Every structure is written in C-alpha cells, then in structure tokens.
Amino acid sequence: MESEGASDRPLHVLIVLTYYRPHTSGLTIYAERLARGLVARGHRVTVLTSRYSHDHPKIEELNGVRVVRAPVLFRISKGVIMPTFGYLAWKYVREADVISLHLPQFDAAGVALRGRLLHKPTLLTYHCDLTLPPGIFNRVVSLAVNSMNDLAGRYSDGVVAYTQDYADHSRFLQKMAPKLRVIPPPVELPEMTKSGIAAFSRMSNPEGKHPVIGMAARFAAEKGVEVLLEAFPKILERYPAAMILYAGQFRDVLAEESYANRLFPRIRFYEDQRQWRFLGVLDEVQMAAFYPNLDVFTVPSLNATESFGLVQVEAMLSGVPSVASDLPGVRQPVLQTGMGEIAPVGNSDELASAILRVLDNHAAYVRPRAEIAARFSTERTAADYEALFKHMLAMRNGGG
C-alpha cells in the first residue's frame, strides 16, 4: 500500500535544457508545453536553464513553472559556458524526484551523472542530431557535444524520441534502443475566432494576395529557407499573385548572420512586390490567427537538426496542409495524417511541384481538426511522461 501511495503522489520534476523561454525554437516550445502540462496534472516543475540574456531574471515563475537561469560567462557557437551551473545542478537534482534532460546539450552528462549518484531517475528527450556547418572548429564542437550526449545516455534510465522513424536513422538513438520509448510531441493551438483571423489577414496581407504559402521557423541554414526561395518562381508561374508569410525570428539569429546576408537581397525583391512578408516572432494566439490565413504550409528543412516540425501539426489543426522534406521524423505528420505532400530534401523544383499539387487540389488534403488533435496534444504527451516517470521511480525503488 505504501508503494501505491507513493506512486500517486505529485512529483517534483527537474527539466534541464540550454535555452528556455523567451527563446523560441521547437525544443524550447516542446519543453515549455511539457512543463505546463505536468503542472496541469498536479506536479511541481523546476526548469534549470541558461541566463543567456541579462534582461532575464535569475529566478522567476512562468505559468506555474519555476525557472532558474544560470549566468552565462561566454558563448561558443550556440553553446554557453555557465560557471555556476554545476553548483545549481547539484542543488536542484537533490530537490527533484525525477530529471528530464533535453538533448542535444553539452551539460547533460554532468546532470545525468548527478542523477545516478543521487539515485534520481533520469529521462533524456532527444530532440535532434547536432548538425553544424563544415569547418574544424564546428567538428570539434560536434565531437564534444556528441560525446557528452553519449555519456548522458549511459547514465540515464530512459530515452524518449518523437518518432520511431527518426530513432531508426539517428546514430545516438540507435545506440539507446534498449532504453528507448516513443512519445508523440506536445502540440497545442488555441481556436481562433473568425474576426481574429480576418483582423490578422488585414494586417499581414492587406493586398489580398492569393494563394498564401506559410513558413514558421528561425531564419537558419538548416531550415531550408533558400529551397523555398528558389521554388517560388515556379509557383508564381502558375499563381502570379501568390505570397509567402514567414513567421519567426529573422533578424539577429544567433550564428546565422552570413546565411541571412546571403539570402536577404533576393528576398527583398519579393518584399518590394508585396509577395514576401516577415511577421517576426508570434505568440500562441497570433499563431492561431496566422495558420488559417494560409493555403499551404511548408517545412523545407535540410538535415537531421529538424526531427519533426511541430509547426506543421499546428497548421494541420487549422485545416492547412503541409509540404515537408522527406527527412526521418519530419515526414511523419504528413504520412500519419495524409494531410499534405512529401518533397525530396533540398530539391526546389520538387518542393514547388508538391506545393502546387496541394494548391491545385486543396480540399482533398484537409482532415478534421479532431482527427489531428487525437494524435497530438500536450495532455497526451504529459500523461505519457508522467507514466514513464512513475515507472522509472518504481524500478529504482525495486517495485518493478
């Protein structure tokens, strides 16, 4: 009876990742939704992350989640050096019942080792392989991070992947197969009123351009922005009034300055024609108004840094089909729902053809919102994590 009571009590979950809100990426959105979902199920959640900007408080509460930020001394590429992180890790690992680590993360091995030494079950969520541009320095960074990931995997009690498809193609996840559990990622999107959708249209597309192609991502090389840019002329041959709405950070993206400088001159031509509009970072309510203003959404990512593409499921919840790269994991939302097309990686002609197929026969690709929501939701993800945390605790306590 005592073990049953223990299994039913609320847990204190420590979530550790390099970047958390207000930073925006698929990984941070996933971690934020998971944290909120666990709080909604009655658990206590602490997030340990970097204070990558001095504008952010060292400790604060966001949506019921305690966020602790370790000071950053300096950056190496997209990584951060945090001298006090080890001390904070000891402190908060001691407090926690279970640890949720989000990889890739250079500091993950040290946290996982602390979990092993303090007998706290540790679960890794592997978001993507690290793929950096060519160069000696980046090879050293990749080797260091991948080595730390491998150590973290050795010390962990379990590993979570978004899809079996991605796990089958990832070097790290293949090695972790005995510990692997597939949990669908958390996807949520508020329902938007017709007036809200119309207001967003007046702001983002005042000229009434049609059809509208959407993309939502940081302006980063691995996202494949240039593939969409090169596909656009072929789309314009069929639909001369088409436009692209781009949501996400597009200025001052960390380590992406040269990429932006290379593409922006070509994009400015379409901006001048009112056929490409950058919307910047949108909050959840704004995103809920963004998607219904699209005719098709696209995820033209180029490498394994993208493992799923949460945004394409959000688009599907709004009745918008997706055209995704034929990458492991990224292709799964389309394959599982039938709501879109798959295009060969990096092939702008094929991307344009796939987008045109959707635009030409849009109704055939649309599925009911409830059908999509049944597959992907924050509630489902949080419940699966909770069950896994409790199983790990039972195993540690000799109960399973």
pLDDT tens digits, residue range 102-158? 998 889 999 999 999 999 999 999 999 877 667 787 778 778 788 888 999 999 999
Q: Which CATH class is domain 2-186+377-396?
A: alpha beta
CB atoms within 10 A of CB 366: 15
- Determine contact, residues 222/303, Cβ cutoff 8 Å: yes
pLDDT on residue 90: 97
The domain locations on the chain are 2-186+377-396, 194-375
AA identity, residue 161: A
Q: Considering only residues 218 and 137, tell me which one the structure prediction assigns the higher pLDDT.
A: 218
Average pLDDT, integer, range 50-75: 92
Mean pLDDT of 354-375: 95
Helix residue ranges per DSSP H, the chain: 2-8, 26-40, 85-95, 108-117, 136-155, 164-169, 171-175, 194-204, 225-238, 257-272, 284-290, 310-317, 332-337, 348-360, 369-375, 378-396
Q: Which range among 69-83, 85-99, 197-211 shows the weakest confidence by mean pLDDT?
A: 69-83
Give mean pLDDT, residues 369-375. 91
Angle of CA points 325, 328, 329, to nearest 5°: 90
Rounded CA gap, 380 and 373, in Å?
10
d(CA 246, CA 219): 9
Give the span between the Cα atoms of 123 and 160, in whole angstroms: 7
Asked if the domains 2-186+377-396 and 194-375 are classified in one and the same CATH topology, the answer is: yes
- What is the pLDDT, as a whole number, of residue 4? 41
Tokens of 332: 């799964």
**305 touches 222 (CB < 8 A):** yes
Residue in 221, 269, 210, 220 with CA at minimum distance from that of residue 245: 210
Among 24-38, 74-88, 278-292, the range scoring the smallest mean pLDDT is: 74-88
Q: Render pLDDT for 153-199 as a digit per residue (tens, 0 to 9).
A: 999 999 999 999 999 999 999 999 999 999 999 999 998 999 999 99
Spatial contact of 309 and 286, defined as CB atoms under 8 Å apart: no
CB 294, CB 320: distance < 8 Å? yes
Mean pLDDT of 274-297: 96
Angstrom distances, CA of residue 342 to CA of 106, 170, 323:
33, 20, 6
pLDDT at position 189: 92
For residue 133, cis peptide bond before it (omega within 30 degrees of 0): no
CATH 3.30.1360.120 given to domain 194-375: no
Residues 6+ apart with CB under 8 A from 142: 130, 131, 132
Considering Cα of 20, then 22, then 27, then 30, what sign does the dihedral take?
positive
All residues at 6 or more sequence positions from 51 whose CB lies less than 8 Å from its CB, including other chains = 58, 69, 70, 71, 72
